[in-house]
Structure 1
Amino acid sequence: MAEPQLPGRGGGPYGRGGAPHGGAGAERLPADLSWLNEAGRRIGTTLDLRRTAQELADSTVPRFADGAAVDLLETVLRGEETERWQGPEPPALRAMAIAWIPSVRVIEADPVGSPSVLGPSYSRDALVTGEPVLVTRTTPDDYLRIASTPSGAAQLAAAGVHSYLVVPMVARGVLLGIADFVRSGDRPGFDRADLALATELLGRAALSIDNARLYQRERDTVVTLQRSLLPRESPPTPGLDVHCDYLPALDSRVAGGDWFDVVALPGGRTALVVGDVLGGGLPAAATMGRLRGAARILLALDTVPERVLARLDLAARDLDEEQVASCLCAVYDPADGSCALASAGHVPPVLVGPDGPAHFVDLPVGGPIGAGAIPYDGTRIVLPGGARLLLYTDGLAKTRRGDLAADLERLRREAGPVLRSRPGPEAAHLAPAGRYDDAVLVAADALDGAAAAEVRVWDLPADASAAGAARRLVRDQLARWELTDLVDAAELVVSEMAGNALRHGRAVGPLRLLRHDRLVIEVSDRGPDLPQIQHASLSDEGGRGLQLINVLCRRWGACRTAFGKAVWAELDLPRTTRLA
C-alpha cells in the first residue's frame, strides 16, 4: 500500500505548482495555470450553493480527474454561521455534486442531495485533520479507505481507479466541505503538483461557496421576517372559502415586500387585502409589516375600500422609509354577495365565473400607497355562488421578458382551467416558469346559498317603533335558529342599538343578524360620529346603553360604511349549538 501523503505532516516542502522546481513540473506549469484560470471563471457564476458545487465538479472532469464529488457541511446549506469544527466525530455532510467519465460512472456514490455516509475513510481523515490526503497509487487496502464499504471498494477496483485525492474546502478560515477526485485507466496518478492545483482551485471555489452561503442566509432572514409578518391562519369568512399562498423570491434583493391579509369585519363581512412594496430585502419586508398593521386598524374603523386606501396613503407618508406600495382591497358582504373593491396602483383582480372564462375586473386604478395620489375610486361587483375571485401580486405573472401586459394575459387565460380544477390552489400552480419575484395569491370562492353563512337583514321603521320591531325580529329569528337562550340578552342589546340609532344617528338603517361562529347583531344609521362609552353619574337618566352592551356582549364596536355607520355586538353561541 502506498502511504498517503498529508502535506504539512511529513510530506516535505514543495514549490509553486505543487512539485519541486524544475523537471516535469516546470514543463506542465503553463498548461496547469491556464486550466486553473479557466476553471476559476466557470465556478461561482451564480449565488446558488448547489449550482456552484456542480460547477466545481464539472470544471475538473475530465481535464483534471476522471471522477469528482463535492460534499458540503449541513451548516453551510442552512446558511448558518460556522466556526472551526472540533470534535471526535466529523460534522454532518450532504452530497452536492458528482461528475465522472463513463468508465467510472459505475462507482458507488452518495446520491446528490442525500446525507453523506462516512465510515473510516480518507474523507473522514481530511475532515478531522483539515488536511488533504493524496494517494498516488492505490492498493486493495486503499479502496476500502476511499469507499468505506466493501461494495464500493470492489467497484473502484473494477473501474480501474488507481489514484485518489481528497481536499477540504476552507474559506476565511472556516471548513465548508470536501471534494474527492479519482483517476483511472492509463492516466498518470495524482502527484503533488496536482494536489497544489486542487488546493488552489478549491480555495477559489470555497470563497464562491461561502459567498453563496452568506447570500442564502440573507435571503432566509428576509423570508423568515416576511413570513412572520404574514397571517398564519385565516379568520372565519362567512360566505367565502379563502385560500392564501406566498412564494418567496429566489433572489434576496427582490425577496420581501409582498403581503396579503384576510380580515374579519363587522356583520360577517370579510376584507381581502394584497399589496406589494416597491423594492426588496429587509427594508421592504419591514415596511410591508407596518402597512399591513395600519391597514388592519383602518379596516376595523371603515369598511369602504377606497377610504381605507386613502387613509393608508396618509399613514404611509409618516413612515421613515420613502417607499411606495401597490395595494388592492376588497370587502365582501355575505348578505347580498357583493364585493366592493379599490386599487392603489395594483394589478387587476381576476374573476372566474362558475362556468364561464376568467376575466379581469374592470376597476379604476389609483396611485400607489405613499405617492400622495388620493382620492381613490372603487367599484362593486356581485360574486355568484361558485365564482372565484383571484387577488395576487405581479410576481405571480411577470417574467424577465418585461412585457407585463402579456404576462397578465397569460395569467388570465390559464386562471380559469387551473383554478377550477383545484379546490385549494397554490401560487405555484399559476406562476410562470421564469418567475423571479415574490408572489402572493388570495383565491376566494363564493359559496352557494346552502353553504354560506346565515345572514338576515331587515329594514327598521324610521320612528319610535324601531326598537320594538327590532326586538320582535330578533326574538323570532333566534327561535327559528333554536337559540332561545340568547333571546333576553339579544333583545336588550338590539333595543339599545335601535334607540341610539334613532336618537343620534339621524335615520335608523337596516338591522343585520348573523349566525356563524358567533351571533352578531348590527344596526346601521346615517350618523357620522362613532359612539363611545360615556361616564354617567348617578343622577344621569341616560348614557348607560353602551355600558350595558359592553357587559352583556363578548365584544362590540362601530365602523363607518358606505351610507353612514354600523354599530355591532357579538354574543357567544351556547356550546351545544356552536357552529363548527
Structure 2
Amino acid sequence: MDDLMDDLMDGECECGLLRRIIEETLAPVVMLDERLRYLYVNPAWVRVSGVPAAAYLGRPLGEVLPDVSWPDDVLLKVLEDGQPREATFTGTTRVPSHLGRRLWRGVFHRLKTRDRGLAVCGIGVEVSNLGRYLDDLENAHQRLALLDLAATRIGTTLDIETTCTELADFLAPSMADVAAVGTVEDEFCGTPAPGMLRLRKTALSAPQELRWHLRHLGGPDEYLDLPRTSVTRRCMDTGRPWLGNLATDELIEKVTVDPERVRIFRAAGVHSVLVVPLPTAGRCVGVVILGRAGASAPFSEDDVVTAQGLAGRAAVAIDSARRYTREHTMALELQRALLSEPGSPHAGVEVATRYLPSGRSALVGGDWYDSLALPGGRTLLVMGDVMGHGFQAAVTMSQYRSLLRTVAASDMPVDDILGEVDRRVAHIGLDRVATCLLVLMDPQAGICTAASAGHLPPLAVHPGGTSEMLWLPAGPPLGAELGDYESVTVPTEPGTVLLLYTDGLVEQRGTDIDTRLRALTELQLPTESPLEAMLDALLARLAHGAHEDDVALLAARQRPN
C-alpha cells in the first residue's frame, strides 16, 4: 500500500504533505483498480468500517462489506470517461451505530498510475444525520397528510356507530391490518361485575382474508367487560398508549382478556398490537386496538404518535355524536310526549296528524300541532314551529303550546289570540320566536277563519282532489313583540280537507320554496279516503328520503252528518 501511495504521489509532494492529509483526514478515502478491487483504504475508512486495511487489498468492492450498497455503475463511468461524479452509498458496517443504516455522499475521480494503469479514488463524507433528518421531515409530512385526510373521512355524521366504523375503516389499511373500536357503554342491559368497565364492540375492519379468521372475535355478546388489570383498561385510565411488537401470547391475552381471542388473533397472523385510548377533555370515550399481521412490519414510534393524533380527533367526533344522540333522544321523547296528547276536536271534525323527525344531520326541532274544541261546535287547529333545534327548542315549544291553549280558551278571534300570545311571550321572556298558524273551523256556518304569525299558508283540498293555498296576510312571528295580525274567512264545502304543515315538508336545499308549494297544490290527494291514508299518500309523493328539517302535519275534515 505504501508503494501505491508513493507511485501516485511521485513528483507531486516530496515532503509527504499529501500523504499526511489522506492518512490523517476524517473523511473516508478508498482507491480501486479498473476491476473495482481495493488498492488502498485510509485509516478513516478503517475506523468507520471496522475492517483492517490489509483485509481490503485485492478484494472486490462488494465482498468486504456486503451490507453496503456501492454505486458500481457510477464508478465504471468515471473509469471510462475520466469525468468526476458524485454518488450516494448506504448500508451498515461492522461498527455498530445508533443511526442504523448509514448514508455517505462521495465524489469519485479517475487516477493514472505509472505502472498500474487506471484507478478510481473516492472521498466520502457521512450524511446519516442529514438523511435521518430528511426522513423524519418526510414522515412528519406524511403524518400531517394522514391527519388532514382523516378529518374528511371520520366524523361525517352525528351517529356513533358510523363514526366508529369510519375510524376503523380508515386505520385499516392505512396504519394496520386489523382495527377494532370499542366505546364506553353508559347504558346497557345487565350489570357488569364490580370493578369492571363495560365496552361496546362498535366497529371492526380488516381485509377479507383476515376477516374470515376474525369472524368469531366478537363472540355472542356485543359487550366486553375489562378488569383493572387489563392492558386496555390501563390505557383508558391513564390516557397513554400501549405497544406490543412481536408480542407473546401472554401479552396479547392481557389485551384481549380471553385465551380464545388470543387463538383467533394468532390464526389471523397478528404478531404486533397497538392499543390507543380515545380521550376527551372530560373522560375517555373508548379505545382503538390495532394489529399488524403476516409480513407487515411491527409498529414504529412514528406509528404510535400518528395513531394518537388520529384517536384524539376521532374521540372528539365520537363524543359529539354521543352528546348529540343523548340530546336528540331527550328532545324527541319530550316532543312525542307532548304531541301524543293533542287536544280533542269536536265530534263533528275528523283530525289526523303526522310528525317525522329530521334526518340524522340535524337536531330535533320545535314543531308542534294541536286541535282544540271551542264553544258553538267550532274547532281550533294549531300548527307552530319554534326557531332552532335541540332540547331547548322542544322545551320552548311546550311553553308556547301551553300558552296558546290558555289564551284560546278565552274564545277570542284568531287574530286576537295571536296578538295576546305575542304579548305574553314578551312578558314571560321566552328567548325564541315561533311561527304559528291558527285555523278556526266552523262546520255549522260552513266557513273557516285563519290567521298567520309568519307561518306557511294552509292547503285546502277539495272533494275530487283539487287543491289551493289559502293565502293569508303574513304577520310577524310570535315573540317578536310586533303584533298586528289579520284574519281571513273563507267558505268551506263539506268534504274539504284543511292541511296545516311546517316548513320541513316544502323546504328543500337548492329548490325555490314557491316551486315546492306549487308542487304541493298540484298533488291529486284522495280526499274520499281516511285522513291517515291521505297523509301517507302526501308523504310518499312529496317527502322523499331523509328530510333536512322536522315535518309536522295536521289534516282536518268535517265528518259527514
Alpha-carbon deviation of 1:219? 4.8
Q: For the Cα contact (< 8 Å) 2:198–2:225, is it kept in 1?
A: no
* 1:88 and 2:195 correspond: yes
Q: 1:89 to 1:322 in 2, by over 3 A?
A: closer
Q: Which amino acid aligns with 2:198?
A: P
Superposed counterparts of 1:315-330, under 5 Å: 315-321=424-430, 323-330=432-439
Q: Which amino acid aligns with 2:482?
A: G
Alpha-carbon deviation of 1:168? 2.4
Match in the other structure for 2:452: 343
Match in the other structure for 2:165: 54
Q: For the Cα contact (< 8 Å) 1:294–1:312, is it kept in 2?
A: yes
Q: For the Cα contact (< 8 Å) 2:499–2:555, is it kept in 1?
A: yes
Alpha-carbon deviation of 1:152? 6.4
Alpha-carbon deviation of 1:328? 0.8
Aligned match for 1:209, one of 318, 336, 347: 318
Q: Which amino acid aligns with 2:233?
A: L
Q: Quick one: distance in 2 between partners of 1:222 and 1:368? A: 23
Q: Show CA shifts across 1:191-235 (max 9, x none).
A: 454334323431332233334434554555555555565563443
Q: Show CA shifts across 1:481-505 (max 9, x none).
A: xxxxxxxxxxxxxxxxxxxxxxxxx
Match in the other structure for 2:489: 379
Q: For the Cα contact (< 8 Å) 2:352–2:532, is it kept in 1?
A: no
Superposed counterparts of 1:18-97, under 5 Å: 23=100, 29-41=136-148, 42-43=150-151, 46=156, 48-50=158-160, 51-75=162-186, 87-95=194-202, 97=203
Q: Show CA shifts across 1:298-349 (max 9, x none).
A: 2212263233223333434435346543211122335466433222221122
Q: For the Cα contact (< 8 Å) 1:162–1:184, is it kept in 2?
A: yes
Q: Show CA shifts across 1:171-204 (max 9, x none).
A: 2251211112222232113345433432343133
* 1:269 and 2:373 correspond: no
Q: 1:255 to 1:415 in 2, by over 3 A?
A: farther
Q: Quick one: distance in 1 between partners of 2:553 and 2:290? A: 46
Superposed counterparts of 1:169-568, under 5 Å: 169-172=278-281, 174-220=283-329, 222-223=331-332, 226=335, 230=339, 232-235=341-344, 237-249=346-358, 255-280=364-389, 284-302=393-411, 304-321=413-430, 323-335=432-444, 338-369=447-478, 370=480, 372-382=482-492, 384-385=494-495, 387-401=496-510, 403-413=512-522, 416=525, 422-423=532-533, 425=535, 431-433=543-545, 435-449=547-561
Q: 1:127 to 1:45 in 2, by over 3 A?
A: same
Q: Residue 278 of structure 1: SS of its match in structure 2?
A: strand
Q: Quick one: distance in 1 between partners of 2:512 and 2:261? A: 53
Q: For the Cα contact (< 8 Å) 1:399–1:432, is it kept in 2?
A: no
Alpha-carbon deviation of 1:91? 1.8
Q: Residue 292 of structure 1: SS of its match in structure 2?
A: helix
Q: Quick one: distance in 2 between partners of 1:180 and 1:322? A: 46
Q: Residue 173 of structure 2: SS of its match in structure 1?
A: coil
Decide which moves more: 257-266 or 188-197: 188-197
Structure 1 residue ranges without an equivalent (≥5): 1-19, 78-84, 450-580
Q: Residue 397 of structure 2: SS of its match in structure 1?
A: helix
Match in the other structure for 1:117: 223
Q: 1:239 to 1:32 in 2, by over 3 A?
A: farther
Q: For the Cα contact (< 8 Å) 2:348–2:558, is it kept in 1?
A: yes
Q: Which amino acid aligns with 1:74?
A: E
Match in the other structure for 1:464: none
Q: Residue 53 of structure 1: SS of its match in structure 2?
A: helix
Match in the other structure for 1:127: 233
Alpha-carbon deviation of 1:276? 1.9
Match in the other structure for 1:495: none
Q: For the Cα contact (< 8 Å) 1:61–1:68, is it kept in 2?
A: yes
Identical columns (%) = 33
Alpha-carbon deviation of 1:238? 1.2
Q: Residue 448 of structure 1: SS of its match in structure 2?
A: coil
Q: Show CA shifts across 1:45-85 (max 9, x none).
A: 556243432332233222201222222123399xxxxxxx9
Q: Residue 400 of structure 2: SS of its match in structure 1?
A: helix
Q: Which amino acid aligns with 2:441?
A: Y
Q: 1:233 to 1:347 in 2, by over 3 A?
A: closer
Q: Which amino acid aligns with 1:91?
A: R
Q: 1:140 to 1:378 in 2, by over 3 A?
A: same
Q: Quick one: distance in 2 between partners of 1:268 and 1:27? A: 86
Q: For the Cα contact (< 8 Å) 2:217–2:261, is it kept in 1?
A: no
Q: For the Cα contact (< 8 Å) 1:146–1:153, is it kept in 2?
A: no
Structure 2 residue ranges without an equivalent (≥5): 1-96, 102-131
Q: Quick one: distance in 2 between partners of 1:172 and 1:86? A: 27
Q: Which has the larger radius of gyration?
A: 2
Q: Residue 61 of structure 1: SS of its match in structure 2?
A: helix
Q: Quick one: distance in 2 between partners of 1:223 and 1:21? A: 61
Q: Show CA shifts across 1:260-297 (max 9, x none).
A: 22222224432210112334456654543333223212
* 1:106 and 2:212 correspond: yes
Q: For the Cα contact (< 8 Å) 1:169–1:175, is it kept in 2?
A: yes
What number of residue pairs does the alignment pair up? 420
Q: 1:111 to 1:161 in 2, by over 3 A?
A: closer
Q: Quick one: distance in 1 between partners of 2:272 and 2:491? A: 74
Q: Show CA shifts across 1:84-113 (max 9, x none).
A: x99522224251x3333333232445899x
Q: 1:261 to 1:75 in 2, by over 3 A?
A: same
Q: Quick one: distance in 2 between partners of 1:366 and 1:70? A: 52
Q: Quick one: distance in 1 between partners of 2:460 and 2:362? A: 32
Decide which moves more: 252-261 or 49-58: 252-261
